[in-house]
Chain A
Amino acid sequence: MSQEKIRVTEEIDAAKPSRGFWSDAWQRYRRRPIGMLALGFVLFLTIVALFAPAIAGTKPVICSYKGDLYFPCLGYFNRSWESPIFTKDKFRGTYPKNLKQKDPESWAVWPLVFQDPYRRVRENEWPGRRENPSRDEGHPNRLNLFGTDQYGVDIFAKMVHGTTIALLVGFVSMGLAGSIGVLVGALGGYFGGWVDMITSRLTEIVMCIPTLVLILALIAVVEKPTIWKTMAIIGATGWTGIARLTRAEFLRLRQTEFVMAARATGAGSLRIMFRHILPNALAPVLVPITFGIASAILIEGSLSFLGFGPPPPTASWGSVLNSARSNLQLWWLVVFPGVGIFLTVLAYNLVGEGLQEATDPRLREAKK
């Protein structure tokens, strides 16, 4: 009886990935404390990334200057979002003193931690505070929570702003890899024949070239790498696993009754592929994408670590590690970004694993 019941509900699932399927998956996911913890950590990172300039920075979150309100901290996201008035009035990036000097009426709300990810904070930049220590003296201390690097730049600020990079790398590169992978896999799996022959060969060829080597060569080719180009390259090389899985799912699903039914109603190939099959293949394809986010973060870390990452002043966790290579006695340069990368990768892997267990029909049945 229960067997039959399972089969019936599965058929309904297959016909349309009803909200029931995803809310069921969520119910199962919620039961795993470790998976929830990992998801919580990812959310925490997202919040840190979104509010990075308000957490650590030397530019006011909001300030009133000569009668107008400004948000200079947005300059951390994009230079042009910082009002040009502050460059005209010769602030030279140091707000606390200049604001008061040039406009005694002004007020400002400061970030939680007054430190800059791109430069050393100088003496009395914040009234009464000493200059950031550098080299061996840069131990973690009250003002520099995670210490400073050899040039006196605060590591905590670098870490906070690096979170944005880490998350962007994951989402942008896997968004790209996912799109390429799903497209290639869907074409091969749905049409079969010579289309499949070509797409499968293509996948195999890309798999045969060692990823890191391919990426290094591509980075050399694009010249002046920026973080966006790095993300695009990681995405353009990381789609093979997703393509293979999508292909397998499409091969399986194109034989099912609901696809036959859709075809019988005269739906076109594209419509069947993306309206009927893809939603059903989504759960298994999401799993390698989640794992892919973890590996994209790892790859970006390795690239920055090897010195092939986005050029300074981009604050990425891997570039902090790179600066640690020649300064091994400055252990804090290794521990904080190292643990940061590790926890982020771990969290994404755990989320991926939780997703896998929550959506895999075989595991689901076995748990009953």
Chain B
Amino acid sequence: MAAPLLEIKDLVTVFHASEGRLPAVDGVSLSIERGRTLGLVGESGCGKSVTAMSTLRLVSSPGRIESGSITFTTEDESIDLVTASEKQLRKVRGGRIGMIFQEPMTSLNPVFTIGNQIAEVVQLHRKVSRSEARSRALEMLQLVRVADPQQRLDEYPHQLSGGMRQRVMIAIALACEPDLIIADEPTTALDVTIQAQILELLDDLRSRLGTAILLITHDLGVVAETCDDVAVMYAGRIVEQASAVELFSRPLHPYTIGLLRARPNVDARDRSPLATIPGMVPPPQDFPSGCRFHPRCSHAREPQCNLDPPALREVSPGHFVRCHFAEEINS
């Protein structure tokens, strides 16, 4: 089998703050195959956004990638984004990997027109004239199904609704036909009905253009609808990884189980109260010893869970879990 499109290995990203060295991402490994969608799931503050930012080395000071590799393989080359030069990286950003952010309201530059901002990414990566870039921008607006694309080209971001702006962001991300799109909570800031439209659009574009997607979200419902594979992240680490089908039918890690139980059930007959996981994700300065989930875990046992950090192990083909007692809990 060929190398995966993107392979993150043992990524460590730390923030240096007055509290000391804070490892927001602590040894994350992931891989994404061409044309597939990987969902990265976790509560806020677990490090999933930092993982996404690290992939394109967009983490800004005081954050820094401390170790690990991010190998990005295209038809003609394979480069490590962690060690790549700034120039190589710029070719990848926007050209080979597109990115969509959480806040469509603030992610577009307020003083440039929509057309301008889509055309910019085309001009940055392809040798095209202004008018060619502009017609490409129009084409992209049509592709992401923005109404009145011709007119929108000359409008400014503040004249558009949140959903429209997110479509523009998708257009920017896709304008250079990248191999991968990193979508960091692309629907969190939007209304529920708009959320569904945007997800549908992303899924449709993936199947038409063959672009792989790394979808970062805290919403398991979104994952279930759109992803092929899922990785669950907790306190800077991956705790469980499997195909979406496998994970939803046979979750192994107590945290994943908790997350699945915490979802509201639409089934009208089910009147049982909504389960919650007690406590919150610890911030990096307060990561507990041993298994980082043990203070919130109902199955935690001393001394293994609070002293011995569990390793990520493969319990069945393609299904990885970071728990000492995964099999026991689920038997």
- Give Cα distance in the complex from A4 to B43, angstroms: 13
Q: Are B17 and A368 in contact (CB under 8 A)?
A: yes
Complex-state Cα separation, A301 to B280, whole angstroms:
59
CA distance A3 to B44 in the complex (A): 9
Closest to A31 in B: B18
- For the complex, is B222 an interface residue (Cβ under 8 Å from A)? no
- Complex CA gap A368/B285 in Å reads 13
User: Do B281 and A1 touch (CB < 8 A)?
Assistant: yes
The answer on a CB contact under 8 Å between A2 and B283 is: yes
Number of residue pairs across A and B with beta carbons under 8 Å?
Answer: 11
The answer to the question of B27 belonging to the interface, with a C-beta cut-off of 8 Å to chain A, is: no
Among B214-268, those with CB < 8 Å from A are: none
Within 8 A of A (CB), among B16-54: 17, 43-45
- Smallest CB gap from B43: residue in A: A1
Chain B residue nearest to A1 in the complex (CB): B45
Complex interface bits, A74-114 against B, C-beta within 8 A gives 1, otherwise 0 = 00000000000000000000000000000000000000000
Q: What 1/0 flags go to B281-292 for Cβ under 8 Å of A?
A: 101000000000
Whole-angstrom distance between the Cβ of B22 and the nearest chain A Cβ: 10
- Residues B17 and A1 in contact, CB atoms below 8 Å apart: no
Interface size on B, residues (CB 8 A): 7
Contact B17 A2, beta carbon cutoff 8 Å: no
Report the Cα distance A204→B17, complex, angstroms: 44
Q: Which residues of A contact B281 (CB under 8 A)?
A: 1
**Interface 0/1 of B40-72, CB less than 8 Å to A:** 000111000000000000000000000000000
The listed residue with most B CB atoms (<10 A of its CB), out of A1, A2, A4, A368, is A1
Smallest beta-carbon distance B166→chain A, Å: 20
Which residues of the other chain, A, contact B43 by a CB distance below 8 angstroms? 1
Nearest chain B CB to A363's CB is how many angstroms away?
15
Question: In the complex, what's the smallest C-beta–C-beta distance from A358 to chain B, in angstroms?
Answer: 14
- Expressed in whole angstroms, the minimum distance between the Cβ of B103 and any Cβ of chain A is 12
| Shortest Cβ distance from residue A33 to the other chain B in the assembled complex, whole angstroms | 15
A1 to B281 alpha-carbon distance, docked (Å): 8
Bound Cα distance A368, B283 (Å): 13
Q: Which residues of A contact B45 (CB under 8 A)?
A: 1-2
Binary B-proximity of A1-27 (CB < 8 A = 1, otherwise 0): 111100000000000000000000000
How far, in angstroms, from A4 to B283 measured CA to CA in the complex? 12
State the CA gap A2–B283 with chains docked (Å).
8
Report the Cα distance A368→B16, complex, angstroms. Answer: 10
Expressed in whole angstroms, the minimum distance between the Cβ of A285 and any Cβ of chain B is 28
Nearest to B17 among chain A residues (CB) is A368
Give bound CA distance, A368 to B45, whole Å: 14
Q: Give the distance in Å from the alpha carbon of A3 to the alpha carbon of B43 in the complex.
A: 13
With both chains docked as a complex, state the minimum distance between the C-beta of B218 and any C-beta of chain A, in angstroms. 12
Q: Shortest beta-carbon distance, B282 to chain A, in Å? A: 9
Contacts of B283 in A (CB 8 A): 1-2
Min CB gap B50→A, angstroms: 12
Q: How far is the CA of A3 from the CA of B103 in the complex (A)?
A: 15
Q: List residues of chain B with CB within 8 A of the CB of A1.
A: 43-45, 280-281, 283
Within the complex, what minimum Cβ distance (angstroms) separates B310 from chain A? 23
Q: How far is the CA of A368 from the CA of B60 in the complex (A)?
A: 12
Residues from chain B with Cβ under 8 Å of A368 in the complex: 17
CB distance from A242 to the nearest CB of B (A): 30
Question: How distant is the Cα of A3 from the Cα of B281 in the complex, in angstroms?
Answer: 13
Min C-beta distance of A364 to chain B, whole Å:
12
Which residues of chain B come closer than 8 Å to A4, judged between CB atoms? Answer: 44
Cα-based distance from A4 to B44 in the complex (angstroms)? 10
11 contacts between A and B (CB under 8 A): A1-B43, A1-B44, A1-B45, A1-B280, A1-B281, A1-B283, A2-B45, A2-B283, A3-B44, A4-B44, A368-B17
* Sample of 8 further A-B pairs with CB below 8 A, known A1-B283, A2-B283, A368-B17: A1-B43, A1-B44, A1-B45, A1-B280, A1-B281, A2-B45, A3-B44, A4-B44
Please give me the 9 A-B residue pairs with the lowest Cβ-Cβ distance, nearest first. Answer: A1-B45, A1-B44, A1-B281, A1-B280, A2-B283, A1-B283, A2-B45, A368-B17, A3-B44
